[in-house]
């Protein structure tokens, strides 16, 4: 029986290959998703190692001012803190060496890290590829990463010149070259490491940004943390452990990882359709042969095994090729991720157990998809062998309810493969989307007739007979059509859903920028600019500049929870027409903001904190003290902070209560129509005062391009599902042609041309494509809405992603009609004589 099963697969080589390719693509996406997940996990671990090294705890300054010498002393004296490594991190510019031909004023800034060489060595390894370590905490020496050394053409014993306090140039001697990009993650290697005290002198800044602590003397990190909490009361600070850093990084990648896993599940589900369809067709086609076997004494279970053996062969081959496809996909994803990830992405191969899981999942899905056809094979009565003609009865056709088994198996597979630390929110979201997609497949048989009639309309005027025949063929086996259309719809739905989410994100980002930023251009500074700085007044005085608004983002704490805050000038926002108020009087609230004692909340935060206009927002200000601010109003959106939208606070409070030293961003609003003329002067003036000009359109463009890259990756994965669905269409149309050979022969005998026959198959594919597209687009819009609504944070703007819809429709119809090429050719080349005699 086993040999017969394999021979049966070989006899239908084309279809077997299609099924193998289908399952291989599904498995490939799953493998790539797991490999990427493993890569992200490894990258996070490495980043965490780079960030905190061997430290058990990290104390970071909270807010714009650093930790004072007193705070450092308090940590040093905390019982159990055996190693205390303080560091200061600032950004500045390199001063080009005199006479350098390409002295470039617009080169990006560098990060300067001041470390205590002795303590730092015990916390983390600074790997040198040349030169020596820093000799003391005082000497004006520097270590620079290889990347920067190459860029500047500086070797050991060379000199780099930094802009120090007040922009004065300071020379430091390079004593060592660090491996790779150096110790600071995300700087792209633009880092200069100095001894802590030397750096504090250089920047005239006696504070430190962070203190890494190793616990010892029998004290646990927890006990040391408690001791620090007791000792450090004069300043607000953030205490974190490596696990917290890792968790926060994992949190930031959770959405990406859960979406990849969801698309993998969808690709696998679509692959399962193909297997289900292939084996179903085999059983339907071979009814007489299987009945003959029964008549010759084969038992039911032998026929069941006949189908299952075929499934296993397809599954094993599919899994093997799928692993190879997955390797390539994973490599492509790694390339893409390296260009978009905030942390250096490293590609790692999944563990052997994960590879085994992929193979088991692939086989499991294939076998689950084969259960129904196998059951049908077992239930064929021997009498079928005696019938004159094979006329597939309804009972022998595929039962859609068995799809539920496949759905469940893929769902379980999804749970197994789910990124462990991606959080439950992503799981719930993906689960719901998956259910929506499945619901669409189950709805398909009920809407097929109506949608088929609509889909036939475009063909009816020019290709009436072809359209009629095509619809007749589609109605021949509703279960098969449902599966084919369902697979296509699911693939296209993912394209639309991803497009919908991308569209929402872009709109939200664009609306956000337009609604909250009081300027056409942002000038960013690496040092706070005091509000009475002459530079601001000079910029505002340039002809064509209407207004210059100082802004700064900082952090505040409420009940021990960090919140983003922004210092803004209410009068500027009022005059510029920014902010949409949902609660409170805009004019009054913005006026009160400048007077002090109030805050304006973004709607998302107000909802989360359950605050409204008139409520009191209590924020920690250090030394155990708090500041009470009245909520003057709630805006639809406010300035974007690091993790959410910011609480808006007037400059008066920001400086006096929260110690914000000055503005980090100046928003420049040009007089209407004068931007082009005034901008060069503004930009020039900005550069002279070490400000970096960024037009808001460029910021929007950067946001847009980052979003495009991430969503492009998702689109590419969703496209794999569409390709698998296309294979299903080739399969279905081929069988549809083979089933109708005699009918096509009679039509040819009655005067139908080869062209008409070919067109009828293409029209059939077109109708399948249109039906799949309609169903896929509607499902995708629902799935996209589910993703957007459940992802929270981003305010929902109901907008239809027309571009994705058009892409999905063109893709659906195009892919289907391309898939018709082979079956159409087959149909048009049938010899009439052979066709009419076909049994």
Using CB under 8 A as the criterion, which residues of the chain lie in contact with other proteins when the complex forms? Answer: 388-389, 464-465, 468-469, 471-472, 475-476, 742-743, 745-754, 756, 831-833, 836
Q: Least distance to other proteins from the beta carbon of 751, Å? A: 2
Report whether 148 contacts 110 (CB < 8 A): yes
393 or 428: whose CB is closer to other proteins? Answer: 393
515 or 743: whose CB is closer to other proteins? Answer: 743
Sign of CA pseudo-dihedral 87, 91, 96, 98: negative
Q: Least distance to other proteins from the beta carbon of 831, Å? A: 8
Separation between Cα atoms, residue 712 and residue 506, nearest integer Å? 13
Report whether 529 contacts 676 (CB < 8 A): no
- 111: nearest Cα among 94, 126, 89, 95: 89
Separation between Cα atoms, residue 456 and residue 599, nearest integer Å? 60
Separation between Cα atoms, residue 658 and residue 621, nearest integer Å? 6
- Give the pairing type, strands 561-568 and 598-602: unpaired
Half-sphere exposure (CA, 13 Å, Cβ side) for 102? 5
Separation between Cα atoms, residue 63 and residue 207, nearest integer Å? 13
586 or 758: whose CB is closer to other proteins? Answer: 758
Q: Least distance to other proteins from the beta carbon of 766, Å? A: 18
175 or 474: whose CB is closer to other proteins? Answer: 474
102 or 388: whose CB is closer to other proteins? Answer: 388
186 or 462: whose CB is closer to other proteins? Answer: 462
Q: Least distance to other proteins from the beta carbon of 486, Å? A: 21
Phi, psi of 61 (to 5 degrees): -65, 140
747 or 786: whose CB is closer to other proteins? Answer: 747
CA angle 746, 747, 751 (to 5 degrees): 115
Q: Least distance to other proteins from the beta carbon of 748, Å? A: 7
Biggest CA-to-CA distance, the chain: 101
Report whether 379 contacts 305 (CB < 8 A): no
584 or 745: whose CB is closer to other proteins? Answer: 745
Q: Least distance to other proteins from the beta carbon of 740, Å? A: 9
44 or 762: whose CB is closer to other proteins? Answer: 762
DSSP 645: B
The two three-digit tokens of residue 180, written as one number:
């790779």
Q: Least distance to other proteins from the beta carbon of 837, Å? A: 8
Separation between Cα atoms, residue 609 and residue 603, nearest integer Å? 10
Q: Least distance to other proteins from the beta carbon of 475, Å? A: 5
448 or 730: whose CB is closer to other proteins? Answer: 448
Report whether 676 contacts 504 (CB < 8 A): no
Separation between Cα atoms, residue 683 and residue 689, nearest integer Å? 10
Phi, psi of 666 (to 5 degrees): -115, 120
416 or 453: whose CB is closer to other proteins? Answer: 453
349 or 743: whose CB is closer to other proteins? Answer: 743
CA angle 722, 811, 263 (to 5 degrees): 30
Q: Least distance to other proteins from the beta carbon of 825, Å? A: 14
Q: Least distance to other proteins from the beta carbon of 288, Å? A: 16
Q: Least distance to other proteins from the beta carbon of 449, Å? A: 11
Separation between Cα atoms, residue 82 and residue 79, nearest integer Å? 8
Concatenating the DSSP letter of every residue in 233-244 gives -SS-EEEE-HHH
Separation between Cα atoms, residue 31 and residue 46, nearest integer Å? 22
* Helices within 552-599 (DSSP H only): 570-576, 586-595
Separation between Cα atoms, residue 610 and residue 767, nearest integer Å? 52
Half-sphere exposure (CA, 13 Å, Cβ side) for 266? 42
227 or 752: whose CB is closer to other proteins? Answer: 752
């Amino acid at each position: 029986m086993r040999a017969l099963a394999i021979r049966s697969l070989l006899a239908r080589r084309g279809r077997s290959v299609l099924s193998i390719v289908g399952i291989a693509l599904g498995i490939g996406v799953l493998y790539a998703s797991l490999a990427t997940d493993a890569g992200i996990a490894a990258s996070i671990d490495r980043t965490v190692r780079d960030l905190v090294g061997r430290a058990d705890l990290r104390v970071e300054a909270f807010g714009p001012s650093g930790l004072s010498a007193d705070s450092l002393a308090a940590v040093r004296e905390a019982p159990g803190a055996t190693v205390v490594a303080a560091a200061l991190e600032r950004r500045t510019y390199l001063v080009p060496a005199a006479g350098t031909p390409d002295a470039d004023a617009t080169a990006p800034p560098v990060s300067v890290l001041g470390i205590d060489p002795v303590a730092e060595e015990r916390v983390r390894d600074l790997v040198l590829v040349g030169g020596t370590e820093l000799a003391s905490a005082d000497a004006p020496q520097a270590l620079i990463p290889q990347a920067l050394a190459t860029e500047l053409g500086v070797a050991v014993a060379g000199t780099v010149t930094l802009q120090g306090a007040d922009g004065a140039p300071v020379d430091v001697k390079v004593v060592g070259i660090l491996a790779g990009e150096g110790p600071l993650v995300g700087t792209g290697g633009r880092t200069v490491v100095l001894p802590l005290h030397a750096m504090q002198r250089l920047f005239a800044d006696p504070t430190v940004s962070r203190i890494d602590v190793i616990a010892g003397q029998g004290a646990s990190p927890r006990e040391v943390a408690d001791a620090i909490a007791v000792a450090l009361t004069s300043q607000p600070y953030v205490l974190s452990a490596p696990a917290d850093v890792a968790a926060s990084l994992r949190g930031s990648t959770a959405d990406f990882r859960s979406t990849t896993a969801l698309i993998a599940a969808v690709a696998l589900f679509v692959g399962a359709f193909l297997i289900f369809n292939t084996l179903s067709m085999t059983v339907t086609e071979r009814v007489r042969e299987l009945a003959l076997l029964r008549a010759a004494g084969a038992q039911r279970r032998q026929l069941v095994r006949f189908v299952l053996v075929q499934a296993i062969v397809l599954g094993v081959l599919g899994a093997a090729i799928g692993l190879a496809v997955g390797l390539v996909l994973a490599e492509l994803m790694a390339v893409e991720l390296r260009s978009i990830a905030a942390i250096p992405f490293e590609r790692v191969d999944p563990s052997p157990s994960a590879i085994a899981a992929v193979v088991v999942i692939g086989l499991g899905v294939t076998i689950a998809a084969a259960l129904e056809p196998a059951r049908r094979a077992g239930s064929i009565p021997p009498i079928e062998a005696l019938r004159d003609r094979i006329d597939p009865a309804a009972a022998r056709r595929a039962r859609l309810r068995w799809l539920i088994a496949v759905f469940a198996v893929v769902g379980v597979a999804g749970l197994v493969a789910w990124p462990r630390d991606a959080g439950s929110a992503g799981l719930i979201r993906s689960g719901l989307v998956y259910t929506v997609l499945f619901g669409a497949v189950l709805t398909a048989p009920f809407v097929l007739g109506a949608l088929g009639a609509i889909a036939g309309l475009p063909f009816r005027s020019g290709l009436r007979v072809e359209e009629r025949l095509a619809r007749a063929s589609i109605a021949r086996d509703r279960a098969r059509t449902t599966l084919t259309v369902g697979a296509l719809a699911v693939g296209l739905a993912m394209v639309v859903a991803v497009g919908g989410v991308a569209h929402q994100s872009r709109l939200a980002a664009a609306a956000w920028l337009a609604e909250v930023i009081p300027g056409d251009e942002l000038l960013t500074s690496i040092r706070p600019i005091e509000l009475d700085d002459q530079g601001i007044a000079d910029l505002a005085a340039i002809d064509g500049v209407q207004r210059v608004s100082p802004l700064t983002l900082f952090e505040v704490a409420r009940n021990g929870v960090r919140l983003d805050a922004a210092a803004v000038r209410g009068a500027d926002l009022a005059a510029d027409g920014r902010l949409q108020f949902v609660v409170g009087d805009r004019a009054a609230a913005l006026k009160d903001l400048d007077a002090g004692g109030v805050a304006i909340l973004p709607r998302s935060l107000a909802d989360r904190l359950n605050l409204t206009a008139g409520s009191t927002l209590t924020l920690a200000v250090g030394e155990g003290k708090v500041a009470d601010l009245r909520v003057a109003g709630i805006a639809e959106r406010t300035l974007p902070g690091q993790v959410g939208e910011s609480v808006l606070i007037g400059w008066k409070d920001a400086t006096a209560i929260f110690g914000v030293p000055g503005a980090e961003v100046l928003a420049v609003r040009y007089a209407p129509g004068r931007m082009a003329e005034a901008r060069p002067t503004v930009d020039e003036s900005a550069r002279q005062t070490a400000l970096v000009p960024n037009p808001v359109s460029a910021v929007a463009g950067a946001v847009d391009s980052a979003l495009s890259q991430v969503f492009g990756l998702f689109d590419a994965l969703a496209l794999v599902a569409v390709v698998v669905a296309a294979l299903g269409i080739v399969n279905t149309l081929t069988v549809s042609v083979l089933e109708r050979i005699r009918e096509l022969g009679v039509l040819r005998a009655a005067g139908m041309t080869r062209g008409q026959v070919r067109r009828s198959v293409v029209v059939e594919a077109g109708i399948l494509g249109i039906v799949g597209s309609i169903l896929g687009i509607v499902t995708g819009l629902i799935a996209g809405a589910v993703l957007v609504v459940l992802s929270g944070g981003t305010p929902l703007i109901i907008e239809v992603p027309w571009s994705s819809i058009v892409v999905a429709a063109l893709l659906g119809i195009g892919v289907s009609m391309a898939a018709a090429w082979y079956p159409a050719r087959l149909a048009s080349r049938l010899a009439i004589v052979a066709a009419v005699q076909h049994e």
